[in-house]
Amino acid sequence: MYDAQQQQVGSNKCRVNNGGCSSLCLATPRGRQCACAEDQILGADSVTCQANPSYIPPPQCQPGEFACKNNRCIQERWKCDGDNDCLDNSDEAPELCHQHTCPSDRFKCKNNRCIPNRWLCDGDNDCGNNEDESNSTCSARTCSPNQFSCASGRCIPISWTCDLDDDCGDRSDESASCAYPTCFPLTQFTCNNGRCININWRCDNDNDCGDNSDEAGCSHSCSSNQFKCNSGRCIPVHWTCDGDNDCGDYSDETHANCTNQATRPPGGCHTDEFQCRLDGLCIPMRWRCDGDTDCMDSSDEKNCEGVTHVCDPNVKFGCKDSG
């Protein structure tokens, strides 16, 4: 490049008329070569510079941001985190990330991602390459005193051992040496998996144990004070024909004994029933002014002054001071 003020005395092709170049003239041993600025290209005549239509100026990223090679700006903290945030992987380039370190409470994956130490050996592929769940990583890990070390290397709270849940993922926390709690024989049923459930849930057609052992060998016969639903479930007999779907299949509200609804006067209710104002629904009179809103418009709980509340003797006890 020729500079009239600083160029040493001598002769070169750029000394006269800038070597004929429109912009930059580069002196060479064999003569000169014209060149252009970064946003220009040299024309076909090799002396004239023209605007470069494909030129993209470098990004003007803000403080705290990283400039990707494709001119995207990303958060500085996303650099060397194992994720291709730039979309051209320039934020994860080896020459940029080879000295990347993680804080002491984090584990550095081979792809430079930093993950919390508590994520190690937890059964989740947090590194993205299973490095945090590998045998070499987990076998060298030690658990804290209040944790149990699974055979897989995972650390779980000691309270999670022998609780009938496979928290380790390899059942090492539920070994044969576990002394499972004994169920109360008078009030509880012991499931085959060791779980204790309410003894009334035995043979109710629901899988309460989780292994269906509470329904094994059941004939599903109900007692004299129970009603047998079409599904086989047994419910208290006084729950039938009360307007509630206690069976789950409405068989307690549609069986032959529910004849009350068929004999109702047109548009009205029986003398022992209350009719809601909004939709004309008939509800038991004992539900009137009982503190519970049974009608959609709350009409069963309005104008209750002087109304004597009568409790259902089958399911409730009437207190002397409040009825």
The pTM of this model reads 0.34
Q: What is the pLDDT of residue 137?
A: 83
Q: How far apart are CA 317 and CA 202, in angstroms?
A: 28
Q: CA 186, 192, 197, 201 torsion: positive or negative?
A: negative
Q: In this structure, are residues 148 and 156 in contact, taking their beta carbons and an 8 Å threshold?
A: yes
Total residue length of the chain: 323
Report helix, strand or coil for 10.
coil
Give the architecture-level CATH label for domain 267-323. Answer: Irregular (4.10)
- Considering the chain, tell me which residue range(s) the CATH 4.10.400.10 domain(s) occupy: 65-139, 180-219, 222-258, 267-323
Give the architecture-level CATH label for domain 65-139. Answer: Irregular (4.10)
Question: Tokens representing 132?
Answer: 């945090």
Q: What is the pLDDT of residue 49?
A: 93
Provide the pLDDT confidence category of residue 11 given band limits of 50, 70 and 90. Answer: confident
Q: In this structure, are residues 32 and 19 in contact, taking their beta carbons and an 8 Å threshold?
A: yes
pLDDT at 242 over 80: no
Q: How far apart are CA 114 and CA 103, in angstroms?
A: 8
Count Cα atoms within 13 angstroms, Cβ side, for 153.
17
For 123, list phi and psi in degrees, rounded to 5: 90, -5
The full DSSP string for 71-99 is: S-EEEGGGTTSSS--SSSSGGG-HHHHTT
Enumerate helices (H) and strands (E) in the chain, giving the number of each: 3, 16
Q: How far apart are CA 13 and CA 21, in angstroms?
A: 10
pLDDT at 104 over 60: yes
Question: Tokens representing 25?
Answer: 């003239």
Q: CA 182, 185, 186, 190 torsion: positive or negative?
A: positive
Q: How far apart are CA 311 and CA 299, in angstroms?
A: 19
Task: Summarize the confidence of residues 138-162 as an average pLDDT.
Answer: 83
CATH superfamily, region 222-258 = Low-density Lipoprotein Receptor (4.10.400.10)
User: Does 3.20.20.190 match the CATH number of domain 180-219?
Assistant: no
Task: Summarize the confidence of residues 184-196 as an average pLDDT.
Answer: 84
N-term to C-term CA, the chain: 108
Q: What is the pLDDT of residue 71?
A: 84
CATH annotation of 1-55: 2.10.25.10
Provide the pLDDT confidence category of residue 20 given band limits of 50, 70 and 90. Answer: very high
